Structure 1
């Protein structure tokens, strides 16, 4: 039996610990490993709240900033119990709840400042817990995105954690655009501040563009025994330099990724989805669930402007409680440049789509929270257009109903490492309209399982996005046979976690002590 440790920022196997797709992966992959008879431990930060439902396991004494820190390890209950999987959180007062989904911080003036602080404490506490064998004798440590990669720094530079060299470290890149870049020194979130006693190799740790900064994403790529992206096409994308906004590739780390590829350490493995019958939700609950979510949010909302917008959204929902529209297009995503850049730069394209939807008595439902400028843009459009329903909140029941009840799932991402939303929509027989990029290339085929748009220039992409939307509506209105067949084809697709985790075992988890990378 192999013994695994998963280290991440999100985990949807426990309550209230998900913002994006990382949480889905950390929920589903351990289940597959468990079914093979192996043991899995999963650890995430507590964000000052998740430990409250847990059982205290240990105090972890850390030496940070030249002083003594004490973090606590708690075991927490899972939504679904599994005898081979244990879930933990690390609690410390400086591992704070973020303002994005209660997890991440948005620091507009010093990007990653708050998050690097809390994940530095978190990763050091995890290293101490490994050292004290609270997870047993580990074989493989699977790290996810830059939030966990400091463990590789500690493995190679901290003498107290040289024991980590006994384990095989696998590093998953969920989103290369977020890299955890901070200064080496002269800042509270700098390496020098947290580890003043360590001798480090700045050349090996530095960001390729900013010589006075370290890059936690780069550290993961450079020091892991195996590195993987969450789709084959995204792997190919990131080996090339970015030329934004037409193409988002390696984001400055393409040379590091090419080196990992030459060394046979870099792989692209498509994420999966859960196809168990119990994952399906009741049909025709979208508008009642939206109304309930808005009402609950209104009861606790203290910001008058946000409360007014919630009331406005509720008013727009009322007619659909009695009679639903003829066509529902929908999106669920964090409001970021990655997800909705086309709308932010070209709002007239969104307005043209809404005009076309109005001709068929259709609406566009978009659920998400995130960057303030994106939220404001979408609120403004909601006030102007009656067939645009912007749900500026988070609600799992509404999200599940969107995947179940919509007619077309819309995913205009500027880039997409994999995308799980399109898989969840396709699972319910819902065609998707996507940008032909990254993992969306690997999952949606134009006029077969959905619709896709692309272009050589930005203007071409935006034009083709609108035209592809019109094409989808054409089939819906004028060729029901083709429309139904596209939905049926989408439902038949199977992106299973079993297939993905088979690849994990073959390419990532094969353990040979001679392969373990040391400084």
Structure 2
């Protein structure tokens, strides 16, 4: 409500917003407040993960200043609940997601979390776009202060030093075999169960796995139990540490990312920038940022069989120095900054402002 008030000029009578950009369910109602006041200020809602919707009991309506008439299918109601996210999608001028593939996926029932019908309508109106995230300039292995040793696409020596540091930190044995990393929330969405199931195959082929993250208790426990069974080959740290994460990207040969769905994903782009090849499910932003066999590996059907096949291709590449070097170079050379994304947001802003001007 405060965001809507400020956008309307209540904070400064000599200034009002040209546009209000909202992110996810916590700010979704701002678009609705503007609509209920009859204000023509355009609103952009970026959906980072449709699964998190902000659902509350309808008894909250009067406390939040929501008109009773808005509690309907063409409003804030979602299966008898008040949905902040639906309010944002329904009342915003335009919706964006954080990758092009995810923008298409959420118009289908299997990914739409019950909102696919409304999102199909918005897509048909030309009011739904996907703009892949970028990563900031600090992700540069040639000058990252967290790394044990810097390196670049033209000088790989420092990568081995970071790998050795990761092995020591995670209690792994000294090895010249492939090192696989998992830097992730340990939740169902991220396909951690597939990673656990695939880990023994990786170890049996001379690989090692380092895992860091926090999430669902059952997956944390299963990851720790796996490490106990394969001491020296699998290491797990529950929690998150920035230095550990950056060294894992820098030291690993592959990043495992078998997400069931992934609105964008940043880990695969961090890994690519640090010369680690992502092995990922072909979904959402993973499909948009990874070229199979060029700068990473993708698998289609979300199954252990297909995941293991992608890992096998990774191991074969590791056995070919020339191919591994070529793929690392391609991964590190991929443009992943914010310039292209910013230009696309500027286009969305311009279109939304033009539409609002015509409506006014």
Question: What range is the shorter-chain TM-score in?
Answer: 0.7 to 0.9
2:188 corresponding residue in structure 1: 337
- In 1, the alpha carbon distance for the partners of 2:14 and 2:109 equals 39
In the aligned structure 2, how far is the partner of 1:513 from the partner of 1:443? 31
Q: Secondary structure at the match of 1:172?
A: strand
- From the superposition, tell whether residues 513 and 466 of structure 1 become closer, same or farther in structure 2 (CA, over 3 Å): closer
More relative contact order in 1 or in 2 (CA 8 Å, sep 6+)? 2
- What residue in structure 2 maps to residue 357 of structure 1? 203
Sort the Cα spacing of 1:132 and 1:340 in 2 relative to 1 into closer, same or farther, 3 A: same
- Whole-Å separation in 2 of the counterparts to 1:442 and 1:126: 33
Q: Offset at 1:280?
A: 3.3
Q: Secondary structure at the match of 2:289?
A: coil
Q: Which residue of 1 aligns with 2:339?
A: 498
CA offsets 1:483-503 (integer angstroms, 9 cap, x no match): 221111111211331111111
Tell whether the 8 Å contact from 2:100 to 2:132 is kept in structure 1 after alignment: yes
Matched residues in 1 for 2:352 and 2:29: separation?
22
1:207 is displaced (CA, Å) by: 4.6
The answer for the alignment partner of 1:404 in structure 2 is 250
Cα deviation digits, residues 266-301 of structure 1 (max 9, x gap) = 11111112346576342334675798xxxxxxxxxx
Stretches of structure 2 lacking an aligned partner (at least 5 in a row): 150-160
Cα RMSD after superposing both structures: 2.8
Within a 5 Å distance, the mapping from 1:235-250 to structure 2 comes to 235-242=103-110, 249-250=111-112
Residues 205, 214 of structure 1: 8 Å contact kept:
no
Equivalents in 2 of 1:338, 1:280: separation in Å? 30
**Deviation of the 1:173 alpha carbon:** 0.8
Cα distance in 2, alignment partners of residues 447 and 197 from structure 1: 51
CA-CA distance at 1:125 after TM superposition: 4.1
Q: How many Å separate the matches in 2 of 1:463 and 1:256? A: 35
Kindly report which structure 2 residues correspond to 1:111-510, keeping only aligned pairs within 5 A, or say none. Answer: 124-130=1-7, 131-133=10-12, 137-157=16-36, 162=37, 165-185=39-59, 190-192=60-62, 194-195=63-64, 198-203=67-72, 204-208=74-78, 210=79, 212-242=80-110, 249-275=111-137, 277=140, 280-281=144-145, 282=147, 283=149, 284-285=161-162, 317=171, 323=174, 326-340=177-191, 343=193, 350-360=196-206, 362-386=207-231, 387-455=233-301, 461-477=303-319, 479-510=320-351
TM-score w.r.t. the length of structure 1 is: 0.60
Shift, 1:442, TM fit: 1.1
Task: Tell me which residue corresponds to 1:298.
Answer: none
